[in-house]
C-alpha cells in the first residue's frame, strides 16, 4: 500500500510500504547525537561510536549491493513482518496491556545485537525491559546460531546491555541490562504477518475483522512461548554459572553473573 508525503513544493511523493517502514525506524530510532552534552556517555566516545556505525553501515551497503532479487525480496518480507511484530506488541497487546517498543540505536543494533526493547509498564513505578533480536529474514539455522551465541555469553556471566537507552518513561541511561531474546518464525507466520503490514499502516481505516485477526493471531502465543522458554534458560544458566564460579573461586565471573541477574 503506497503512502504519500508532501515535499517542500506542491508535489507529493509516493512511498512504498518498505520505504514507510524504513522511514519509521529512522524517525523513532534512539539517536546517539541526543546524548551529547548529557554526561551520560562522553562526547568523544559518542564520536567514536558514530564512526563505528558509519563503517558498519558501509559494509552492509556493500554486501547488499550484489544480493539477488530473491534475497532482496526476502529481506523486504522480513522488514514487513518485523514492522507488524513491533506494532502488535505495542498496539495490540500481544505481551501485556501497556508496552512501549523502543527502537534501539544503530550502535546497539549493530554491536550488541538488540534491535528493539519492549518496555512493559507494570504500574507507574515498575517496569520490565526485554531486549529483542528479531530476525525474520534469516534461516532457522541462523536464528538458532544467534540464540546459541547468547547462551554461550551467559555461560561466561555476560548479559546484554544497552549503551544508548532512551525512554519517555525512564529517561536516558547507559549500560541498561536486558535479557536478549532472539525471535524467529516459520515461513507461514512470516508471510501472514507481512500481509498484515498494510492493514496496520491504514490505522483507523482498519476493518474490525482485520483487527480481530491480528489481535488473535496464533504467532502471539508462539512469541509468548519463545520468550518464556528463553527467560527460563537465561535464569537457569546464570544460576549455574554463579554456583560454579563460586565453587571454583572465579570471582570475576560470579560477580558478572550476579550483576547480570539484576535486570
Q: Tell me the pLDDT tens digit for each residue of 139-156.
A: 777 777 887 877 777 766
Assess if residue 236 is contained within a domain.
yes
Domain residue limits at 251 = 19-260
pLDDT at 251 over 80: no
- Mean pLDDT confidence for 228-248: 71
Classify 135 as helix, strand or coil. Answer: coil
Assess if residue 2 is contained within a domain.
no
From CA 156, how far away is CA 90, in angstroms rounded?
33
Number of domains forming the structure of the chain? 1
CA dihedral angle for residue 249, residue 253, residue 259, residue 263, rounded to 10 degrees: -130
Q: What is the DSSP string of 200-238?
A: HHTGGG--HHHHHHHHT-THHHHHHHHHHHHHHHHHHHH
Assess if residue 50 is contained within a domain.
yes
- Mean pLDDT confidence for 152-174: 86
CB atoms within 10 A of CB 174: 15
Q: Is the pTM of this model over 0.85?
A: no
Assess if residue 27 is contained within a domain.
yes
Which residues, in sequence order, are CB contacts of 57 under 8 Å at separation 6+? Answer: 106
What pLDDT does residue 198 have? Answer: 87
Classify 95 as helix, strand or coil. Answer: coil
From CA 134, how far away is CA 181, in angstroms rounded?
8
> If pLDDT is split at 50, 70 and 90, which confidence band does 246 have?
low
What pLDDT does residue 254 have? Answer: 45
pLDDT at 252 over 60: no
- When mean pLDDT is compared across 8-12, 166-170, 175-179, 210-214, the lowest value belongs to 8-12
- When mean pLDDT is compared across 59-73, 76-90, 109-123, 237-251, the lowest value belongs to 237-251
Q: Which pairs from 13-22 meet CB under 8 Å and 24+ separation?
A: 17/80, 17/197, 17/198, 17/201, 18/76, 18/79, 18/80, 20/201, 21/79, 21/80, 21/83, 21/197, 22/79
Give the number of C-alpha atoms closer than 13 A to the C-alpha of residue 100, restricted to the C-beta side: 17
Assess if residue 169 is contained within a domain.
yes
Assess if residue 83 is contained within a domain.
yes
Assess if residue 171 is contained within a domain.
yes
What pLDDT does residue 142 have? Answer: 79
End-to-end CA separation in angstroms for the chain: 40
* Cell numbers linked to 25: 525506524
pLDDT at 211 over 50: yes
- Average pLDDT of the chain is 84
- Mean pLDDT confidence for 229-242: 73
User: Which of 144, 169, 170, 149 has its CA nearest to residue 160?
Assistant: 149
Share of the chain above pLDDT 90, in %: 51
Assess if residue 11 is contained within a domain.
no
What pLDDT does residue 248 have? Answer: 60
Give the per-residue SS3 of 34-76: HHCCCCCCCHHHHHHHHHHHHHHHHHHHHHHHCCCHHHHHHHH
pLDDT digits 0-9 by tens, 41-96: 999 999 999 999 999 999 999 988 889 999 888 889 899 999 999 999 999 999 99
Edge-first strand listing for the sheet containing 99-103: 99-103, 116-123, 126-134, 180-183
Amino acid at each position: 500500500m503506497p503512502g504519500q508525503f508532501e515535499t517542500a513544493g506542491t508535489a507529493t511523493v509516493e512511498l512504498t510500504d518498505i520505504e514507510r517502514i524504513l522511514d519509521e525506524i529512522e524517525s523513532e530510532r534512539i539517536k546517539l547525537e541526543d546524548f551529547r552534552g548529557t554526561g551520560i556517555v562522553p562526547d568523544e566516545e559518542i564520536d567514536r561510536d558514530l564512526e563505528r556505525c558509519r563503517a558498519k553501515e558501509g559494509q552492509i551497503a556493500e554486501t547488499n549491493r550484489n544480493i539477488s532479487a530473491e534475497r532482496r525480496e526476502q529481506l523486504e518480507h522480513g522488514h514487513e513482518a518485523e514492522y507488524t511484530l513491533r506494532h502488535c506488541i505495542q498496539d495490540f497487546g500481544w505481551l501485556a496491556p501497556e508496552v512501549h517498543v523502543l527502537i534501539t540505536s544503530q550502535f546497539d543494533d549493530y554491536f550488541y545485537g538488540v534491535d528493539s526493547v519492549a518496555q512493559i509498564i507494570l504500574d507507574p513505578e515498575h517496569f520490565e525491559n526485554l531486549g529483542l533480536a528479531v530476525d525474520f529474514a534469516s534461516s532457522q539455522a541462523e536464528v538458532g546460531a544467534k540464540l546459541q551465541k547468547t547462551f554461550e555469553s551467559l555461560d561466561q556471566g555476560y548479559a546484554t546491555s544497552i549503551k544508548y537507552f532512551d525512554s519517555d518513561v525512564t529517561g536516558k541511561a547507559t549500560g541498561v541490562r536486558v535479557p536478549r531474546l532472539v525471535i524467529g518464525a516459520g515461513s507461514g507466520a512470516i508471510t501472514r504477518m507481512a500481509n498484515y503490514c498494510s492493514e496496520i499502516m491504514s490505522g483507523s481505516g482498519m476493518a474490525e475483522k482485520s483487527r480481530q485477526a491480528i489481535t488473535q493471531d496464533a504467532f502471539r502465543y508462539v512469541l509468548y512461548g519463545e520468550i518464556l522458554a528463553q527467560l527460563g534458560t537465561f535464569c537457569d544458566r546464570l544460576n549455574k554459572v554463579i554456583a560454579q564460579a563460586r565453587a571454583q573461586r572465579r570471582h570475576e565471573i560470579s560477580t558478572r553473573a550476579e550483576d547480570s541477574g539484576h535486570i
